[in-house]
Structure 1
Amino acid sequence: MVDRKANAKTSLDVLVAGAGYVGLAAAVSLKQARPSLAVAVVDAAPAGVWRKDGRASAIAAAACRMLDQLGVWAEIAPEAQAITEMIVTDSRTADPVRPVFLTFDGEVAPGEPFAHMVANKDLNGALRGSAEKLGIDIIEGVAVSAFDPSGAGVTVHLADGATLKARLLVAADGVNSKLRDMAGIKTVKWEYGQSGIVCTVAHERPHNGHAEEHFLPAGPFATLPLKPGKDGNRSSIVWVERMEDAQKLVDGDDLVFEHELELRFGLKLGEIRVADKPRAWPLGLTLARAFVAPRIALVGDAAHGIHPIAGQGLNLGFKDVAALAEVVVEADRLGQDIGALDVLERYQQWRRFDTVQMGVTTDVLNRLFSNDIGPLRAARDIGLGLVERMPRLKDFFIRQASGLSGDTPRLLKGEAI
């Protein structure tokens, strides 16, 4: 049990700042692979706020393998919805017909879908349960106010006056990371002038596990299948609009919102109804110039915030976790200092190029498809049609989307560290 008295200095091996999915996964991955490590999590959000999160996330096949290896997938799976097919189309909102330019079969291996849709609160709850079983303390409602790396450790000061000491501090505190700023790590950052509207839609007919992404002039409109609930058939919507239009839609009349939603969603699944309060988040690209500094490592959105056009944000974070855990556990087994900069550099070298590459890819895709320029539209539609006719290239994209391409950490292969 972490002693948080103001005059106490509790010694830990790893302190994770941030109790979202990425932070919790980091703590569980390290503690499961190396039970001798003293690991704790601190989070600025009030206790229990995660239970109010009604959103869902696309979890790629590699991340599902990792969650299975961590012993939490069996708890999540009954309420997860497999994505059996991905359909891509390029059209205008007013177009009466939306031709399908590209379809992806939803399996990376027989019986293994390339992604599942999982309710955020289910994912968070399962990871929290695992953390508790492993003896990981989760300190909620308290922010990190400062930290001082020196010698063989880092002294972490909490907002309630308590002080903790660790060999390694892991920053998993989101795209606007305070710890990243405290560490003096600069970012490459720009805004897209777009917001992502997220909500859940109930509909009359079943989706059969099909996901769709419509490229519209203002940005992509994605329909992602959810497990049927008490309100029947459901899908999650990720709707990218110009920032000013998105805010008007979310703050405006419910009937106007549903009308605009129906124009984009269509009537293929029958009558639709908005099942929860829509929310909008500004979209941009944020890439940390470094993923590590003395005694600190950035993971998840603290290291990179990318456009949701490819649905890879959370999965990149899980890839960070798997790589960092593998580096830290192997270093500890060799008797090395897990927070030393030369050890953390191995993690940075593993993850930085892949992350920058994905950030650039999503940026280019967003600029290429979020417009209504005639010649560009024609060129990209020809490109989509060519990919549709090239099975090997489609298989490559599926491997990319599933998180199983490149130098994959062991956890993402479903292997123990």
Structure 2
Amino acid sequence: MTQTPSYQGDVVIVGGGLAGMTLALAMDQAGLTVALVDVLEMDEQIAPEFDGRASALAYTSWRMFEALGVAEYLRPHTQRIEHILVCDGRPYGGDKPGGPGPHSLHFDRREISDGDDGEPLGWMAENRHSRFALIQALKSKSGISVFAPARADRYETRGDGVELYLDDGRILSGQLLVACDGKFSRLRKQAAIRTAGWQYGQKGVVATVRHSEPHNGVAYEYFLPSGPFAILPLPDNRASLVWTEPDAIADALKDAPDAVFQEELENRFGDFLGDVRPEGARFTYPLGLRYSERFCDERIAFVGDAARGIHPLAGQGFNLGIRDAAALAEVTGEAKRVGLDIGALITLRRYEDWRKFDSVSLAAGTDLFNRLFSNDIEPVRQLRGLGMSLVNKIGPARRFFMRQAGGETGDPPRLLKGRRLDAA
């Protein structure tokens, strides 16, 4: 006897993380009915101990959050990024510990945004606050059905649709299945879509620190022999650290006594923001590159880390997922309005073609930068320092990199321009 599906609609999204929730809101605005599946209760993900990370939202990502009604909940918890300083870190230890080195690349938002209150380069927000804002926006959407906690078991395609089987026996039916289930996506594995990639043998140590001097909205990314060390501004004289080290050292730092961690932190951070003290727990995350050979197949599309996972040194991981969501929602929404099959391969190829170049460029760029800067070979160090200083003197090059990181190059989807998908 055929079981009646527990849900029948347009789209089933597996993965209720930041990218999955953003996609659900975008598709709802595009006129699609959506089921969102996640292994955790949504409210559990708001807890401070769940995830110590913070994300830099590019200015186009913020435009999309405003168009989706997320920004109103998130704005009180954000910090504008006014400047980004990229440099080689000084050798730590001795009489010149930590801090920015002599060669640098300075991005100033005033070069691409007019006025004192113009659009910043981006917005920093702790992931727990981003989750809370997305969940609040989801609660008001009658076209989004949330299945959580629930675990996806497998999917089966049929002529005009797809069915997702949950491990508790429920069936969710739609025209399109979207995998937002991470870098090691189970759905991508079931679809037999190959990936290329590798682990870097590095982990990101993530922690929040408080410093005595104001950061003035400046994000720092400086490179040490062990890997990038990012200082990302948060509200209230705080910063989020993404501190890259080889696996064993990262694990030791995570578990180190407070006094030892404080000493190592000061050696790398320096004193340019005054006294610095850690706040809260420390976390570690393994770093690697994983790139899917295809972003779609018949009846299934891949979004966020399920499509590609990159090194966090450019802060673009979540932004890539947001751009995926903007493109897929626009493509499928237009297809539905003109009576086309939203899950057909010809429809999904439009999404894939739209997102491939941006994804390849950032994946290759972050991989190259990590390899180029994660060493202490003196001739290489001198050349890369001179290269940064040279680019810093070329205004058009600086502005191009700022717009590319902001997601404004090429042909951005409507949501990234701040235009709603349900507007005439």
Q: What TM-score comes out, normalization by structure 2 length?
A: 0.93
Please name the residue that 1:133 is paired with.
140
- 1:236 aligns to what? 240
What are the superposed Cα offsets for residues 24-78 of structure 1, whole Å, 9 maximum, x if unpaired?
Answer: 11111111121xx321100012442211234311000010011111122122112
Please name the residue that 1:57 is paired with.
Answer: 55
Percent identical residues: 46
Q: 2:109 aligns with which of 85, 106, 110?
A: 106
Q: Name the counterpart of 1:290.
A: 294
Is 2:303 the partner of 1:299? yes
- CA distance in 2 between counterparts of 1:125 and 1:47 reads 9
Is 1:28–2:25 an aligned residue pair? yes
Match of 2:264, SS state, is: helix
Partner of 1:15: 12
Q: CA deviation at 1:132?
A: 1.9
The answer as to 2:218 corresponding to 1:218 is: no
Residue 81 of structure 2 aligns with which residue? 83
Deviations along 1:324-353, one digit per CA (max 9) or x if unpaired, are: 011001101110010111101111111112
Q: Quote how far apart the aligned CAs of 1:149 are.
A: 0.8
CA distance in 2, matches of 1:25, 1:173: 14
Separation in structure 1 between the aligned mates of residue 56 and residue 394 of structure 2, nearest angstrom: 25
Query: Where in structure 2 are the equivalents of 1:392-411 lying within 5 Å?
Result: 392-411=396-415
- 1:376 pairs with one of 374, 377, 380: 380
Contact map agreement 1:32 1:134 (CA 8 A) in 2 = no
d(CA) in 2 for partners of 1:33 and 1:273? 45
Matched residue, 1:279 = 283
Counterpart Cα distance in 1 of 2:5 and 2:331? 30
In 2, the alpha carbon distance for the partners of 1:275 and 1:60 equals 25
**Structure 2 residue corresponding to 1:261, chosen from 265, 277, 294:** 265
Paired residues in the alignment total: 406
**Are the equivalent residues in 1 in contact too, given 2:42–2:135 (CA < 8 A)?**
no
Q: Shift of the alpha carbon at 1:197? A: 0.7
Corresponding residue of 2:332: 328
Note the C-alpha offset of 1:375. Answer: 1.0
CA contact (8 A) 1:106 1:115 kept: no
CA shift for structure 1 position 416:
2.3
Q: C-alpha displacement at 1:7, in angstroms? A: 5.5
C-alpha distance in 2 between matches for 1:170 and 1:51 = 24
Aligned residues of 2:83 and 2:121 also touching (Cα < 8 A): no
Structure 2 Cα separation of the partners of residues 219 and 54 of structure 1: 20
Moved more, 404-413 or 320-329: 404-413
Q: Is the 8 A contact 2:15 2:36 kept in 1?
A: yes
Aligned residue number for residue 92 of structure 2: 93
Given candidates 37, 43, 60, the residue that maps to 2:38 is 43
Deviation at 1:371, TM superposition (A): 0.5
Instruction: Output the TM-score relative to the length of structure 1.
Output: 0.94
Are 2:256 and 1:252 equivalent residues in the alignment?
A: yes
Mark the runs of 5 or more structure 2 residues left unpaired by the alignment: none
Check the 8 A contact 1:63/1:318 in 2, yes or no. Answer: yes
Mapped pair 1:195 → 2:181: no
- 2:379 aligns to what SS in structure 1? helix
Q: Give the alignment partner of residue 123 of structure 1, picking from 116, 125, 130.
A: 130
SS in 1 for 2:174: strand
Question: Counterpart of 2:11 in structure 1: which amino acid?
Answer: V
1:100 Cα deviation after fit: 4.7
> 1:57 is aligned with what amino acid?
S
Displacement of 1:239 in angstroms is 0.5
Q: Deviations over 1:188-216 (max 9, x none)?
A: 02011111111100111211111111110
**Kindly tell me: are residues 374 and 213 of structure 1, through their superposed partners in 2, closer, same or farther at Cα, counting changes over 3 Å?**
same
Equivalent-residue separation in structure 2 for 1:89 and 1:358 (angstroms): 19
Letter in 1 for 2:162: V
Q: Spell out, residue by residue over 1:4-31, the C-alpha distance to the aligned partner (whole angstroms, 9 max, x if none).
A: xx86442111111111111011111111
User: 8 Å contact 1:87–1:100 — kept in the other structure?
Assistant: no
Q: 1:168 aligns with which of 156, 176, 181?
A: 176
Tell me the distance in 1 between the aligned counterparts of 2:87 and 2:173.
52
Q: Assess if the C-alpha contact under 8 Å between 1:143 and 1:158 holds in 2.
A: yes
Please give the alpha-carbon distance, in whole angstroms, between the structure 2 residues aligned to 1:7 and 1:168: 18
- Give secondary structure in 2 for the equivalent of 1:90: strand
Alpha-carbon distance in structure 2 between the residues aligned to 1:290 and 1:13: 22
Q: CA deviation at 1:241?
A: 0.6
CA contact (8 A) 2:103 2:385 kept: no
